[in-house]
Amino acid sequence: YDLWLDYSSIKTPAIRSEAESFFSGIYFFGKNPTYNAIQFEMEKAIPIMIGKSPIYATDRINSAKMWLGTREELAQVIGLDQQMEIKNLGDEGYWMGPIEFQGKTYFSIIGNKPIGVLYGVFRLLQEIQREQIDFKEELSDSPKVKIRMLNHWDNLDRTVERGYAGFSIWDWHKLPGYVDPRYIDYARANASIGINAVSLTNVNANAWILRPDFIEKVKVLADIFRPYGIKVYLTARFSAPIELGGLETADPLNSEVAAFWKEKVGMIYKAIPDFGGFVVKANSEGQPGPHEYGRNHAEGANMLADALAPYKGLVIWRAFVYSHEIDEDRHKQANLEFEPLDGKFKENVIIQVKNGAIDFQPREPFHPLFGAVKSTNLGMEFQITQEYLGQATQLVYLGTFWEEVLKSNTYRPKSSSTVAKIIDGTDTGQKLTLMAGVSNIGTDRNWTGHLFGQSNWYAFGRLAWDPYLSSEKIAEEWSELTFGPKLSGIEKIQGIMINSHEAAVNYMTPLGLHHIMGRSHHYGPGPWVEGGRADWTSLYYHRAGSDGIGFDRTSSGSNALNQYAPEIAEVWSDPKKIPEKYLLWFHHLPWDFELKSGNSLWKEITLHYDQGVKSSRSFLQTWQSLENVIDEERFDHVNQLLKIQIKEAEWWRNACLLYFQTFADRPFPSEIEQPE
């Protein structure tokens, strides 16, 4: 339950005694709810870490040993100009280190705003917990992305779309009267990794959330989250003017519709003065939107943006749009709809783009909208919940995958551009930057169903803060905070994490295969799924036949490749040059096509599936070698789940290989375990 905030006793004597000394004279230079949150956290952490309660200093010189405050507050003792470096860290950054003053050393944490101090304190506690702090060193950091947001796909009846960890933690029935302590722990966890925004409700939205009685409930959550620097957003159902307002239309250009939204927004800001804004899914998968009225996404988004602008609220409009009525490769639809609107969105609109063009597949090449537009705010949407990645029974650490996406070279707007440099504004100049992650949180005691699901929540927060961090480093941080830095064999846990995503891709969708999972629940294999709308069938995506397998997205096929920069289109359109992990995403190739290894495509597919199973078995073996060092509860939990994971890997391998063999009409190579 305590996540990575599961504080434990510090073993290194030097760190322990220094911490003890500094924590015996904590002085806050001001008073505000965020400092209260800091105090609350210290009171939780410090007694466990050093066996003594924190002591607060009554004066800033004599009894103080640790100074906490903003740059301006600290100007009472040290000049503002001595702290110029801190100024450049922005509203949320922090600096920490020793300050010498009148012959005495004060370990200090300074931000430009109280929230920076809170982030600094969390960092300090983590460094101590990992037993690697050097109190003599200076340390500073600030976030590279402005809005670091969780998207909950939580329904008002507490079911969670694509949620695998129980029910929604938002207990609408008992709110506003009953405040579950979990809300505070949720805020602590998020603040400890820098998440500063949360959209509470499903993007397949229910208009009721915008009713005054629900806003009263939302207000309670917003009030709890505020000291932790977290802003609340809600999903807006585009047809709410009809459903709630009694209007006959939701046409964004209709004045009554605009008035409806203005009134709603006004009502919300009266209750929640720092409300973040709306997240909107429109004209996708049957959701209402401006297209019903012959209007485009910009006209829809801008109408809401106008209502929110007086309060500095934002519209986060999703680019995940596709419709089977459009006879185009689904891969292409977002670019087809959004590229022509480049420059037409108001400045308080951000277009939130999934990492890939299809839908959170186990592996996807980056979305071609990144780099394709010049004057549109773009934000990233990752999926933390493992909809297509084994849900809550499989250990799949997503840090490595997200790092791969963020590091992808887009070649636009600059030849050196990467996805990270686009979404943090480095290469685009974009100020309003966003990274959103679809939450994997629910009422399960451990929050995420699978213990290692916690690592994905953690990794998301860290990458949103700094999209250039290495996933290995993040795995190190999380595992040390979760299991203790001194756990012998901790590097084995990190090894499992780092290899887990590639393993899942191998036994699910190797070599660029995609969307071949069970229909609609997306759990387990279903390459045979057919019937109904074409783009919800597996056949549409893998296109296996006696002539070969894969989706031709080159100029002889859908030409989706053309939506990427010419440098990419050129290389990837050659099946001999494209990174093989994307091969069948873009090419339809004969079973005998020769790969870099010298193997035929058929053989290579079988080897990947087989390798996936082998890797998952090796994870269990490694885990079991840690039986004596990990507590029984967590050992058993993961042990049982890894056994399920092996079964599921075998299920994937057997189902996919036996199915594809009916087209390939070739034997399985003798070196693999024969599927049955």
Is residue 162 involved in binding ligand GCW (CB under 6 A)?
A: yes
Is residue 515 involved in binding ligand GCW (CB under 6 A)?
A: no
Residue type for 6, please?
A: D
Q: Pick from 652, 558, 539: which is nearest to 357 by CA?
A: 558
Is residue 204 involved in binding ligand GCW (CB under 6 A)?
A: yes
Pick one of 170, 360, 382, 586: the residue that binds ligand GCW (CB under 6 A): 360
- Residue with tokens 């709810």, as numbered in its chain: 33
Pick one of 119, 153, 366, 382: the residue that binds ligand GCW (CB under 6 A): 153
In terms of DSSP H, where are the helices of 311-435?
330-338, 399-407, 419-423
Site string for ligand GCW, 223-242 (x = CB under 6 A): --------------------
Beta bridge pairs of residue 110 = 69, 95
Q: 673 an active-site residue?
A: no
Is residue 523 involved in binding ligand GCW (CB under 6 A)?
A: no
Pick one of 91, 161, 299, 339: the residue that binds ligand GCW (CB under 6 A): 161
Q: Shortest approach of ligand GCW to residue 229 CB, angstroms? A: 26
Is residue 185 involved in binding ligand GCW (CB under 6 A)?
A: no
Tokens at 521, concatenated: 């629940």
Report the residue number, 434 or 620, with the smaller CB distance to ligand GCW. Answer: 434
How big is the site for ligand GCW, counted in residues (CB under 6 A)? 10
Q: Compute the C-alpha angle 654/606/649, nearest 5°.
A: 40
Pick one of 359, 424, 480, 552: the residue that binds ligand GCW (CB under 6 A): 359
Is residue 387 involved in binding ligand GCW (CB under 6 A)?
A: yes
Q: Shortest approach of ligand GCW to residue 525 CB, angstroms? A: 17
Is residue 364 involved in binding ligand GCW (CB under 6 A)?
A: no
Is residue 203 involved in binding ligand GCW (CB under 6 A)?
A: yes
Report the residue number, 128 or 357, with the smaller CB distance to ligand GCW. Answer: 357
Q: Which residue is nearest to ligand GCW (CB)?
A: 359
Report the residue number, 353 or 497, with the smaller CB distance to ligand GCW. Answer: 353
Pick one of 27, 172, 238, 320: the residue that binds ligand GCW (CB under 6 A): 320
Tell me the Ramachandran region of residue 449: left when phi exceeds 0, alpha when psi lies from -120 to 50, beta otherwise: left
Q: Shortest approach of ligand GCW to residue 552 CB, angstroms? A: 24
Interacting positions 128-147 with ligand GCW (CB under 6 A): none
Largest CA distance in the chain: 83
User: Which residues have CB under 8 Å from 667's CB, separation 6+?
Assistant: none
Is residue 403 involved in binding ligand GCW (CB under 6 A)?
A: no
With b for 16 or more beta-carbon neighbours within 10 A and e for fewer, the 36-74 pattern comes to ebbbebbeebbeebbeeebebbeebeeebbbbbbbbebb
Report the residue number, 121 or 351, with the smaller CB distance to ligand GCW. Answer: 351
Q: Name the DSSP letter for residue 376.
A: S
Is residue 154 involved in binding ligand GCW (CB under 6 A)?
A: no
Dihedral over alpha carbons 235, 406, 473, 51 (to 10 degrees): -20
Q: Shortest approach of ligand GCW to residue 523 CB, angstroms? A: 11
Under 8 Å between Cβ of 577 and 571: yes
End-to-end CA distance of the chain: 40
Q: 387 an active-site residue?
A: yes
Task: Give the DSSP letter string of 466-529.
Answer: -TTS-HHHHHHHHHHHHH-TT-TTHHHHHHHHHHHHHHHHHHHSGGG----BSTTT--SB-TT-
Task: Count other C-beta atoms under 10 Å from residue 173's C-beta.
Answer: 11
Crossing angle of helices 182-192 and 33-50, in 10° steps, is: 90
Beta bridge pairs of residue 88 = none
Q: Shortest approach of ligand GCW to residue 151 CB, angstroms? A: 9
Q: 285 an active-site residue?
A: yes
Q: Shortest approach of ligand GCW to residue 275 CB, angstroms? A: 22
Query: Which of 18, 337, 359, 502 is labelled catalytic?
Result: 359
Report the residue number, 126 or 155, with the smaller CB distance to ligand GCW. Answer: 155
Is residue 317 involved in binding ligand GCW (CB under 6 A)?
A: no
User: Which residues have CB under 8 Å from 440's CB, separation 6+?
Assistant: 163, 164, 165, 384, 385, 386, 392, 448, 449, 453, 456, 457
| Contact set with ligand GCW (CB under 6 A) | 153, 161-162, 203-204, 281, 320, 359-360, 387
Catalytic site residues?
285, 359, 387
